[in-house]
């Protein structure tokens, strides 16, 4: 990339390019710059800069093709501002601000085209609040708050349109196993089955079957807290069940659903420090197999490209590096 950036937003665009926006440099100074990766040339080029430098924000690809970047940590702390990136013009425009400042939150796209931001942290601590962005009006509205305030948790939209959140760090300290689902029709959250293993900074991946794979993370009980266990959530029953464990315990890794239905788990942090290893989860057998390692440690984002390759960027040893995984 043209700049080393950590905790940036990374979005695969409908035109096949990849947008990396904001983030922080090696000194954790927020960045406003943004750039595009072109798979046809293998090159990065600068595009329009954000109006506000930010990291630990969320990016949501809206149905119209624009990218909504919301919240994050800025020069003065947690942000309420949000911006839209237009791929056709390469420019950003300010849009409605969040009601609650937040960073490190989760985001999800709802079936009706609205974007949802969930939880996060600000100067007052962890917030359980959630908000909805309406692309037609460019405004945010409050919706039901999570039952449990949490941080370091993932979220995913289920095939039936509900949103699942699970685990994370508790506001009172410790790790959470509790999970809950948001129903757009009611705007409310309801408890669902708890994870078999409390964990934070792990990954949730929606599988073609409709089940959700939870993998790795910090479980607080494995050596160093690094978890190798993985679980499957079945929405129809609201229950979790252990599946095959990772070969290498890891947290803060990436998980990417490939076109063949396998899940690529790469890098992260493990007992030996920053990792370069990668492995594949096979839903048909519930097992993991090792695959090619990356050349850099601690990559922070991986996106699937139209041709089936996976682009992984950033990292603890070379925060502007990029490489391609070919299944």
The tens-digit pLDDT sequence of the chain (327 residues) is 998 888 999 999 999 999 999 999 888 899 999 999 999 999 999 999 999 999 999 999 999 999 999 999 999 999 999 999 999 999 999 999 999 999 999 999 999 999 999 999 999 999 999 999 999 999 999 999 999 999 999 999 999 999 999 999 999 899 999 999 999 999 999 999 999 999 999 999 999 999 999 999 999 999 999 999 999 999 999 999 999 999 999 999 999 999 999 999 999 999 999 899 999 999 999 999 999 999 877 778 999 999 999 999 986 656 788 999 999
308: left (phi over 0), alpha (psi -120 to 50) or beta: left
Residue 165, classed as helix, strand or coil, is strand
Name the residue with tokens 């800025």: 74
Is the distance from CB of 134 to CB of 103 less than 8 angstroms? no
Give the integer Cα–Cα distance in Å for 280 and 57.
Answer: 28
pTM: predicted TM-score of the whole model, two decimal places = 0.96
In sequence order, what are the beta bridge partners of 60? 68
What six digits make up the tokens of 116? 């949802």
Identify the CA nearest to 224 among candidates 267, 271, 268.
Answer: 271
Name the residue with tokens 């624009």: 66
Give the integer Cα–Cα distance in Å for 6 and 3.
Answer: 10
Give the integer Cα–Cα distance in Å for 182 and 169.
Answer: 19
Q: Residue 315 has what pLDDT? A: 65
List the domain boundaries for the chain.
Answer: 1-145
Tell me whether strands 179-183 and 269-270 are parallel, antiparallel or unpaired. unpaired
Identify the CA nearest to 233 among candidates 277, 194, 291, 289.
Answer: 194
In sequence order, what are the beta bridge partners of 264? 256, 280
Is the distance from CB of 180 to CB of 189 less than 8 angstroms? yes
CATH architecture of 1-145: 6 Propeller (2.120)
Identify the CA nearest to 321 among candidates 15, 13, 20, 87.
Answer: 20
Distance of CA 151 to the CA centre of its chain: 13
Q: Residue 149 has what pLDDT? A: 96
């Amino acid at each position: 990339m043209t700049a080393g950036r950590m905790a940036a937003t990374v979005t695969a665009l409908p035109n096949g390019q990849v947008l990396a926006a904001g983030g922080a440099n090696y000194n954790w100074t927020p960045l406003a710059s943004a750039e595009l990766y072109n798979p046809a040339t293998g090159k990065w080029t600068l595009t329009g800069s954000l109006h506000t430098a930010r990291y630990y924000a969320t990016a949501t690809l809206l149905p119209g093709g624009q990218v909504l970047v919301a919240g994050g940590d800025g020069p003065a702390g947690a942000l309420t501002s949000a911006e839209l990136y237009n791929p056709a013009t390469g420019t950003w425009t300010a849009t409605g601000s969040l009601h609650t400042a937040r960073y490190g939150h989760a985001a999800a796209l709802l079936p009706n085209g609205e974007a949802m931001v969930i939880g996060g942290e600000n100067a007052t601590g962890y917030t359980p609040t959630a908000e909805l962005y309406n692309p037609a009006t460019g405004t945010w509205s409050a919706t039901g708050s999570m039952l449990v305030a949490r941080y370091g948790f993932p979220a995913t939209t289920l095939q039936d349109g509900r949103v699942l959140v699970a685990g994370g760090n508790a506001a009172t300290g410790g790790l959470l196993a509790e999970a809950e689902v948001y129903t757009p029709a009611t705007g409310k959250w309801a408890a669902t089955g708890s994870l078999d293993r409390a964990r934070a900074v792990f990954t949730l991946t929606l599988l073609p079957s409709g089940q959700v794979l939870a993998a790795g993370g910090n479980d607080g009980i494995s050596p160093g807290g690094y978890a190798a266990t993985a679980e499957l959530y079945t929405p129809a029953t609201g229950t979790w069940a252990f599946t095959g464990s990772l070969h290498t315990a890891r947290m803060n890794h990436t998980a990417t659903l490939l076109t063949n239905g396998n899940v690529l788990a790469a890098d992260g942090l493990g007992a030996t420090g920053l990792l370069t290893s990668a492995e594949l989860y096979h839903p048909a057998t519930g097992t993991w197999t090792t695959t090619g390692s990356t050349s850099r440690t601690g990559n922070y984002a991986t996106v699937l490209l139209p041709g089936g390759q996976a682009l992984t960027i950033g990292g603890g040893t070379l925060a502007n590096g990029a490489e391609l995984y070919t299944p």
